[in-house]
Amino acid sequence: MKKFFILTAVASLLLMPTSQFAQSKKKKAKKTDTAVAVPEKKPESTIKEYSKVITKDAVSDEGLFTVHKVDKKYFFEIPNNLLGKDMLLVSRLSKLPSNLGGGYVNAGSETNEQLIVWQRFQDKILIKIKSFNAVANDSLPISISVKSNNYEPTLFAFDIAAFSKDSANTVIDVTKFYSSDVKAISGLSAAIRETYKVKGMDDSRSFINTMKSFPMNIEVIQDFTYNASKPPVQEDSETISIQMNQSMILLPEVPMKPRLADPRVGWFTMDQIDYGSNELKSDSKTYIRRWKLEPKDPVAYAKGELVEPIKPIVYYLDPATPEKLRKYIKQGIEEWQKPFETAGFKNAIIAKDAPTKEEDPDFSPEDIRYSVIRYVASTTRNAVGPSVTDPRTGEIIESDVIWYHNHLRSYRNRYLLETGAANPSARTLSTSDEEMGEMMRFVIAHEVGHALGFPHNMGASCAYDTESYRNAAFTQKNGIAASLMDYARFNYIAQPGDKGVRFIRQMGPYDHYALNWGYRVIPNAISPESEVPILDQWIMEKSGDPMYKFGKQSSSFDPSSQTEDIGNNSMKASSYGLKNLQYVAAHLSEWTSDVTNNYEDLDELYKEMLDVWSRYVGHVVTNVGGVYENLKKPNQKGSVYDVVPKAKQQEAMQWLQNNAFASPGWLVNVATLKNIDYSGYTERFRSLQVRHLNNVLSFERIGRLMDAEVVGTNNYTALDLLQDMRKGIWKEVNTASNVTIYRRNLQRAYTERMGFLMNEELKSDRNSSYYSVPQSDVRALVRGELNSLKASLTLAKNSAINAETKYHYQDCIKRIEKILDPR
C-alpha cells in the first residue's frame, strides 16, 4: 500500500501543470525568504567589431581571402560564399638542411596534400579534411552511408574574431595555425622525427615569414626551428631549421571529366573507391593525372583537324634564368608541341618570358594561375617537375619545374665519361654551349613530361637493338630510347670510329603515343567508362611492338625495364660501355688535371667513373633471376610474367665473373689514385664489387629462381646460381694460383654473404617477394655449397704458392666452420 501511495504521488506531481509547479516553488521561496532568483549570466561574446580587429594599422592583401597583418598577428577574411568550397592544401619544403632524409628530400619536395573545406560551426570556423578516396553519386541512397562512414576529421578550429561590416565575410586569427607545429602540414614526418630525435619546435625561433593572397590561392612561408638530438648536419647545434611553403588553392567549381587509367600506358594516377557501382562490391577506380584541354572548335577537332585549345598550357621562365640558357629551356617546353599535335591540338603548350613589373605588376611565381620554370641557385644537382592535381578528377591545376643551377655539371661529367671514347667533343671540361644547351633542352622536356602526367618509362630504352646505337641514320632518327621519359641520357654504346651517331636523347615514338592516349578528346563520350573501348583499341593497335611498351620503374626484377641503361641486350651493351670507359680511364688526367693544373676535377670525375662502371655491372646483374613483365589484359596472348631464359642468365653470370668480379687492373688506375688520395685504393673497389656480389646473392633473387623450377623444367635454378658463383669466385682454388688482394677481399665477402643467407631472415617490404626462408631450400643449398668449398680449400691451402694465399685459405676455412657450427 505504501509503495502504491508513493508512485501515485510521483505521477500526480509529474502531471501537475508547469505553471502551478512553478508557483508552488515561488511561494515556498517567499515563505522561507532564504533563496533569491538570480538570472543566468550569458557568456560574453568573443566576436568583436570589425574595426577593433582589423584596425587602421592593418596591412592587407586582397585575393582568394583577404589577408590582414595587424602588428604580429595574421587574419583571414573569408567570404562566406567560399565556405564549403573544395580547396587543396599543399605543403612543400622550401628550404632544408643538407642530407635531410638521407639526401632523398629536396627543396620543393611535397610533404602533404589534403583536400579541405572551411565550415562554420556556431562561433567557430573549422578546417575539415575531405576525402575523395571513397565516393558515391549524391543521387544514390548509399551516398548517405559513404559520408557517415568516412567522417571528415577537423584539422583546426578558429574562433570567429569579427564579421565584415556587410556581414558577407568572416574574420579569423590564423597566427597560431601557421606558427605552430601542426603535424598535418609539417615538413617533418614521423620517421624523420624519430631518426633525428626531434623533441619539438622552438617557438622562439619559429615564425611566419610571409603570407600572400592571390585570386585563386594563398601562399604562406613559414620558418620553423626544431630541437633535435641528432640533426643531419652540425650535430653540436642540436637544431633542425626548415622553411615550409603552404599553398591553399581553390579547386574548379565544375570538375573535369576524368579518364580511367590503364597500366599498359604509363601515367601518374589517383585512386577512388566508388560505392555507387553496380558491381557486387565497391569498385576501385584509377584515373590519370592530366591538364584539362578542350578544343576551341569541337566540330573541326572531330573531323581530325588541328585545333587550338581553349586554354593552352603556358610555362613562364623565371626572371633569374641566365640569358644564354633561355632559348634551350623554351625549346624543351615546346618540344611537347609535336606530341600534342598527334593528339589533335596545335599550340597546346607555350613557353613565355615572365612579364616585367611594368607589363604586369601583379605577376608572381607563387600565383597558382601561372606555371613557372624556376631557376634555383643551389649546389643541388637535380631537376624536378612537381604539379598540383585536383584529387577529385586528376586535373593538373598548375606545375613548377625546378632547375637547380649545378645540375648541368652532372650532365657534363657523364657526357665526358660515357661518350668521350667515341665523341671527341666530349673530351673536355669546357663543353660547348650548344651541346650543353641540347642536354638542358631535353632535361627540361623530361621534367615537363612529368608535369604533363607521365612517370618514368624504363622499358623504352630496351626497344632498340643494341647494335643500332652504332648506326648514325638510326640514332639521328630515333634517338637513344623510344621515350624521353626513360633514364636513357647518353649513347654509351657507340664506339670510336662510329661516325655521325647521336649521343644525346630526344623525343621518341612512345611519347606521341602516350600523350595521344591521355589527351585526345573522344567525341560523344559521356562518361569515363564510355571511353574505355576506344582507349583499349589504341593500345591493342600497338600491342607487341617494343617501342610502345611501358616499363615500370619499380620493376627491379625486369632486365627490360632498368634505369640508366640502353639497348635490348645488357651484356652486349655493358661490354661496349666498359670498353669505352677503359679508354676514358686511360685519358682522364689528360682531359682534366693536365689542362687545369689541379686535381679537383680529376678526383670528381674518377669517383663518378666508378659509379658508371657500377651501373653497367648492375644492368647485367638484373638478368640473373630476372623476370620479364609484359603488362596485358586477358584478351591478349601470352603471360604477364616470363622467366628470363636459362641461356641468357648463364651468359649474364659468365659476364659478371669476367668483368665485375675479376681483378680491376685498368679501373684502379694507380697513376690517378696517387694524385687524388693517400689511401683507400683497395677499399674503393672492394665496396663496389661487394655491392653487386650481395645483390646477386640476395634472398629475393634466390626466391625467384626457386619459383623458376615450378614454372619450367629447363630454367636457371637457385642451385645453378650458387654453384656458378662458388666456381667463379673461387676459381683460383682449382688452378693452384695466387689470389690477388682484390680477389681475397671478394672471397671473404662471399663467405660473409653466405653466412648471412645461412643465419638471417628475409625482411618483408614493398619491393621484396616474401617467403619463409627457414622452410625453403635456401639453408640446405647454402650449407651444401659451403661444405663443398671447405673441402676444396682444405686441399688448396697446402698447394698455395704464396703465404698470403695460404693464410687466406686457412682463415676462410675457419670462417666457414663458424658459419656451419656457430657454437
- What is the rounded CA–CA span in Å between residue 34 and residue 285? 72
* Residue 279, pLDDT above cutoff 60: no
CB-CB contact of 771 with 764 (8 Å):
no
- Angle between the N-to-C axes of helices 778-796 and 741-759, in degrees from 0 to 180, rounded to the nearest 10: 150
* Residue 15, pLDDT above cutoff 80: no
The tens digit of pLDDT for each residue in 645-671 reads 999 999 999 999 999 999 878 888 878
Tell me the mean pLDDT in the region 745-757: 97
Predicted TM-score (pTM) of the model is 0.86
- What is the rounded CA–CA span in Å between residue 703 and residue 764? 13
The tens digit of pLDDT for each residue in 605-618 reads 999 999 999 999 99
* Residue 14, pLDDT above cutoff 80: no
The tens digit of pLDDT for each residue in 33-60 reads 445 555 555 555 789 999 999 999 999 9
CB atoms within 10 A of CB 297: 12
**List of residues 6+ apart from 780 with CB closer than 8 A:** none
The pLDDT score that the predictor gives to residue 57 is 94
- What is the rounded CA–CA span in Å between residue 127 and residue 104? 31
396-404/371-376 β-pairing: parallel
The pLDDT score that the predictor gives to residue 822 is 84
Tell me the mean pLDDT in the region 93-113: 77
More confident residue, 730 or 43: 730
CB-CB contact of 365 with 353 (8 Å):
no
Half-sphere exposure of 191 (CA within 13 A, CB side): 5
- What stretches of 187-238 adopt beta strand conformation (E)? 198-201, 207-213, 217-228
CB atoms within 10 A of CB 302: 15
- What is the rounded CA–CA span in Å between residue 199 and residue 38? 50
Q: What are phi and psi of 354, to 5 degrees?
A: -65, 140
Quote the cell numbers at residue 121: 560551426
Quote the cell numbers at residue 247: 599553398
Tell me the mean pLDDT in the region 301-325: 93
Q: What are phi and psi of 248, to 5 degrees?
A: -115, 120
In this structure, of 132-136, 234-238, 300-304, the range with the lowest mean pLDDT score is: 132-136
Mean residue pLDDT across the chain: 88
* Residue 804, pLDDT above cutoff 70: yes
In this structure, of 54-68, 106-120, 588-602, the range with the lowest mean pLDDT score is: 106-120
Helices and strands in the chain, H and E counts: 25, 23
More confident residue, 257 or 321: 257
What is the band of 282 on the pLDDT scale with cuts at 50, 70, 90?
A: low
Q: For 439-487, give the DSSP string.
A: HHHHHHHHHHHHHHT----TTGGGSS-GGGGG-HHHHHHHTTSS-TTSS
Longest dimension (CA), the chain: 122
- What is the rounded CA–CA span in Å between residue 204 and residue 241? 12
Element holding 241 (H helix, E strand): strand 239-250
Quote the cell numbers at residue 46: 568573443
Rg from Cα positions in the chain: 34
**List of residues 6+ apart from 633 with CB closer than 8 A:** 264, 536
- What is the rounded CA–CA span in Å between residue 450 and residue 402? 12
The tens digit of pLDDT for each residue in 319-373 reads 888 898 999 999 999 999 999 999 999 999 999 999 988 998 888 887 888 898 8
> Which of 240-244, 300-304, 373-377, 818-822 shows the highest mean pLDDT?
300-304
Going by the DSSP 8-state scheme, the letter that residue 425 receives in this structure is G
**List of residues 6+ apart from 390 with CB closer than 8 A:** 88, 251, 252, 255, 256, 396, 397
**List of residues 6+ apart from 402 with CB closer than 8 A:** 107, 108, 374, 376, 383, 384, 385, 386
Quote the cell numbers at residue 549: 611498351
C-alpha distances out from residue 265 to 77, 221, 336, 405, 518, Å:
45, 38, 18, 33, 9
